[in-house]
């Protein structure tokens, strides 16, 4: 039993303790007495209106260093605006004690905070003004780019998007190990969660995070919480994933058990770098949170250069700008590119049931629907169950990007004598080819010896081996640039180009689709705008002259690391989104004829990918042929959307075709920042290029000075 002395000592200790802050209701009274809005206070504390509201209703308490700043402010207000009666006496004593303690810590002569004094002097505002100021502002665009020409006016800024009141704090937040969640536009939220379950519930109920749907029949974007290494460790997650193949936590991990015990669910992908945690939706209210775990390489360096090494506020700025211009990330940029297609062309819409009069879910015209579709035999692969079951031996569509090197024997002495090899790269060539591209939306039908129609998307069996073209140019009909050797399957655009060149095409068989549409149009339009706007923020605008454009491109990556990362992510979204349309089985254990996860998606559409690539390759060949006609120049090599020319100087302005008035000639390569136009990829010595060609290497892969790895979708 405790002694009387011990009990009195404990009571004295309690009496000596002073609260860190006055009661929540008094905090609100003091702010109102000073005539300061919650929005104004949130700005001063570098926080949000919702966080200030939480302070004033007792739902949360500030943490250091925001705690000390809030203490100083309330201390000054309490001294100036004491409450009447005994409560006012107690609070005045609290303010005096706090002031004495602060001066003791700071030493003699330290003034009471200047910020508090400045806020005190601000006059009271009417209620209407307070309500207007309390409204959260939308995410801000980056700082204005530097002017690239003194004679050109500054670029006009795009209007900020309207803020959805359901998501006042933007689409996402980056959580650090101290419980601070950094959002867009400098927002910092207090996150009290110490477990993944608490984090999910906080994100859905208190954080005010999410984004409105991109299409009226679509779905709102779920909150995205990005976990730094410190945050992941605090929540009980390991520093790295032991399962390097499956990239997921083992099912018996305590965090996974905790999630399932709380009646939350994980997708089939499990708890990996991009984990989705959800419960069944309640009516129209979704219950789903997306996590991105940085120490598990959620943001790969190729698509998000330098982002993983940024501080949380900068990461939030990068991802927030990407979310504003593209979409809230749902995984890798490839996954996000595919998800964006569905978000802009939702598979369903509400329709009225004629019998019952009720609204039910129905097909949304122009979309790919909700069910996966078997490919035509030549459009698939032998691994696909439908193709394997047929025992198909009729050959497959082979529409891929160029990987062509010119025969060294066709080089002339004059070409070899030129000093430079200059690489030109087409901006987002696959995005450009997706514009106004008609693709099939229904299942394929088989036809024997049909008449060719360039307006019908599909696959055509035809012999193009009789067509002779200049050997100094790649064949437009094969990815290798070699002449076809007999009948083969081609996508519509490839056959149409043979017809455009003046050759008769006799179709042997075809798999065609009756229902068609420009499925990729909204995807193209959104990504084109994102790409052009981001380049413009980096100083590369559409109104630049060609010399100004080359100069701006030379320095654009040095303008802002945030914009550099966003631009790379946009390009990764384009590449990966197209590539995901034909995703192969993963893992060594797969057997031909067995289904795999990717092929079960409605967006597994190898025919659409083939259409994009076929059109891009045809567009490239058309430019190559026009360049030969206009300038007499022939390429050394082509790698996807990069072409290498022998050149008299390192400046492409010296060999690209221009009219007498100085305007670029249409039909050939033209410089500019929009999709389909060209930029300088790199310059090397001509002797260097010839040496690579003699060794069987493609100069386009190395013209930049490193390795330009070929990927689907660029």
The average pLDDT across 307-322 equals 95
Better-predicted residue by pLDDT, 597 or 135:
597
pLDDT band with cut points at 50, 70 and 90 for residue 60: confident
Give the ranges where 374-517 is alpha helix by DSSP (H).
385-390, 413-417, 429-434, 492-500
- pLDDT of 236 strictly over 50: yes
Digit-coded pLDDT (tens) for 351-362: 988 888 888 899
- pLDDT of 241 strictly over 60: yes
Q: How far apart are CA 294 and CA 308, in angstroms?
A: 7
- pLDDT of 498 strictly over 80: yes
Q: Which residues contact 83 (CB under 8 A, 6 or more apart)?
A: 26, 29, 91
Question: Which of helix, strand or coil describes residue 508?
Answer: strand
Among residues 275, 272, 265, 274, which one has the least CA distance to residue 242?
Answer: 272
Q: How far apart are CA 236 and CA 328, in angstroms?
A: 26
pLDDT for res 535: 97
- pTM here is 0.79
Q: What Cα–Cα distance (Å) separates residue 518 from each residue in 114, 401, 443, 484, 583?
A: 60, 22, 16, 30, 22
Q: How far apart are CA 327 and CA 333, in angstroms?
A: 10
Give first-to-last CA distance, the chain, whole Å. 79
CA atoms within 13 A on the CB side of 66: 21
pLDDT for res 144: 37
The average pLDDT across 157-161 equals 52
The average pLDDT across 611-621 equals 98
% of the chain surpassing 70 pLDDT: 85
Among residues 404, 357, 206, which one has the least CA distance to residue 289?
Answer: 206
The average pLDDT across 260-276 equals 95
Give the ranges where 424-545 is alpha helix by DSSP (H).
429-434, 492-500, 521-537
pLDDT for res 460: 98
Contact between 334 and 576 under an 8 Å Cβ cutoff? The reply is yes
- Please tell me the total number of residues recorded for the chain in this structure: 714
How confident is the prediction for the chain on average, in pLDDT? 87
User: By mean pLDDT, which of 35-39, 113-117, 292-296 is the weakest?
Assistant: 113-117
The average pLDDT across 311-323 equals 96
pLDDT band with cut points at 50, 70 and 90 for residue 94: low
pLDDT band with cut points at 50, 70 and 90 for residue 133: very low
Q: Name the helix (H) or strand (E) containing 91.
A: helix 85-106
- pLDDT of 115 strictly over 70: no
Q: Which residues contact 17 (CB under 8 A, 6 or more apart)?
A: none
- pLDDT of 491 strictly over 90: yes
Count CB neighbours of 691 within 10 A.
12
pLDDT for res 52: 84
pLDDT for res 66: 85
Q: How far apart are CA 269 and CA 598, in angstroms?
A: 12
pLDDT band with cut points at 50, 70 and 90 for residue 127: very low
The average pLDDT across 627-632 equals 96
User: By mean pLDDT, which of 76-80, 363-367, 436-440 is the weakest?
Assistant: 76-80
pLDDT for res 83: 77
Q: What Cα–Cα distance (Å) separates residue 634 from each residue in 369, 659, 692?
A: 45, 20, 17
pLDDT for res 646: 98
Digit-coded pLDDT (tens) for 660-706: 999 999 999 999 999 999 999 999 999 999 999 999 999 999 999 85
Among residues 629, 638, 644, 613, which one has the least CA distance to residue 712?
Answer: 613
Contact between 145 and 538 under an 8 Å Cβ cutoff? The reply is yes
- pLDDT of 395 strictly over 70: yes
- pLDDT of 518 strictly over 70: yes
% of the chain surpassing 90 pLDDT: 70
């Amino acid at each position: 039993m405790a002694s009387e002395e011990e009990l009195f000592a404990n009571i004295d200790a309690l009496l000596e303790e002073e609260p860190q802050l006055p009661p929540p209701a008094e905090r609100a009274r003091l702010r109102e007495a000073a005539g300061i809005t919650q929005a104004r206070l949130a700005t001063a504390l570098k926080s949000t209106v919702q966080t200030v509201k939480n302070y004033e209703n007792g739902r949360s308490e500030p943490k250091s260093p925001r705690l000390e700043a809030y203490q100083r402010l309330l201390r000054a207000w309490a001294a100036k605006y004491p409450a009447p009666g005994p409560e006012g006496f107690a609070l005045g004593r609290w303010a005096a004690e706090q002031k004495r303690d602060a001066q003791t810590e700071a030493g003699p002569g330290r003034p009471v905070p200047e910020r508090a004094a400045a806020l005190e002097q601000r006059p009271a505002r009417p209620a209407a003004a307070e309500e207007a100021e309390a409204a959260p502002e939308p995410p801000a665009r980056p700082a204005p780019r530097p002017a690239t020409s003194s004679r050109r006016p500054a670029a006009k800024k795009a209007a900020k998007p309207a803020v959805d009141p359901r998501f006042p704090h933007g689409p996402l937040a980056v959580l650090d190990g101290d419980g601070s969640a950094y959002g867009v536009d400098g927002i910092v939220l207090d996150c009290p969660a110490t477990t993944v379950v608490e984090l999910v519930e906080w994100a859905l109920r208190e954080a005010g995070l999410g984004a409105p749907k991109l299409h009226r029949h679509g779905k709102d974007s779920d909150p995205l919480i990005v976990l730094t290494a410190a945050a992941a460790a605090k929540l009980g997650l390991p520093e790295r994933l032991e399962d390097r193949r499956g990239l997921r936590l083992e099912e018996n991990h305590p965090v996974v058990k905790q999630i399932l015990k709380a009646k939350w669910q994980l997708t089939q992908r499990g708890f990996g770098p991009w984990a989705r945690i959800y419960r069944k939706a309640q009516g129209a209210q979704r219950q789903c949170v997306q996590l991105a775990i940085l120490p598990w390489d959620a943001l790969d360096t190729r698509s998000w250069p330098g982002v993983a090494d940024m501080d949380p506020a900068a990461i939030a700025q990068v991802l927030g700008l990407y979310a504003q211009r593209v979409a809230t990330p749902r995984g890798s940029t490839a996954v996000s590119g595919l998800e964006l297609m569905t978000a802009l062309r939702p598979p369903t819409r509400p329709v009225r049931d004629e019998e019952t009069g009720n609204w039910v879910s129905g097909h949304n015209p122009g979309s790919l629907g909700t069910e996966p579709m078997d490919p035509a035999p030549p459009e698939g692969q032998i691994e696909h169950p439908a193709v394997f079951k047929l025992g198909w031996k009729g050959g497959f569509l082979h529409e891929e990007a160029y990987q062509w090197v010119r025969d060294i024997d066709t080089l002339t002495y004059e070409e070899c004598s030129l000093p430079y090899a200059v690489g030109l790269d087409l901006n987002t060539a696959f995005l450009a080819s997706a514009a106004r591209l008609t693709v099939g939306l229904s299942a394929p039908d088989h036809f024997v010896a049909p008449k060719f129609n360039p307006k019908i998307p599909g696959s055509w069996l035809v012999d193009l081996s009789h067509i002779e073209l200049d050997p100094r140019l790649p064949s437009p009909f094969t990815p290798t640039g070699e002449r076809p050797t007999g009948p083969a399957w081609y996508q519509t655009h490839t056959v149409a180009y043979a017809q455009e060149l003046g050759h008769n095409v006799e179709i042997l068989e075809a798999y065609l689709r009756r229902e068609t549409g420009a499925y990729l149009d909204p995807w193209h339009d959104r990504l084109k705008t994102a790409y052009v706007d981001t380049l413009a923020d980096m100083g590369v605008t559409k109104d630049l002259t060609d010399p100004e454009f080359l100069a701006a491109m030379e320095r654009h990556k040095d303008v802002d690391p945030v914009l550099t990362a966003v631009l790379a992510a946009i390009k990764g979204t384009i590449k990966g989104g197209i590539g995901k349309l034909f995703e192969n089985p993963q893992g060594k254990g797969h057997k031909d004829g067995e289904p795999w996860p990717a092929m079960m998606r409605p967006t597994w559409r190898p025919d659409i990918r083939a259409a994009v690539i076929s059109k891009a390759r045809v567009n490239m060949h058309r430019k190559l042929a026009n360049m030969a006609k206009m300038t007499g120049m022939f390429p050394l090599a082509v790698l996807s959307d990069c072409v290498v020319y022998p050149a008299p100087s390192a400046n492409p302005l010296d060999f690209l075709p221009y009219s007498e008035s100085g305007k670029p000639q249409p039909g050939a390569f033209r410089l500019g920042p929009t999709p389909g136009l060209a930029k300088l990829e790199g310059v090397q010595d001509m002797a260097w290029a010839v040496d690579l060609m003699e060794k069987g290497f493609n100069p386009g892969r190395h013209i930049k000075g490193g390795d330009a790895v070929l990927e689907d979708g660029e």
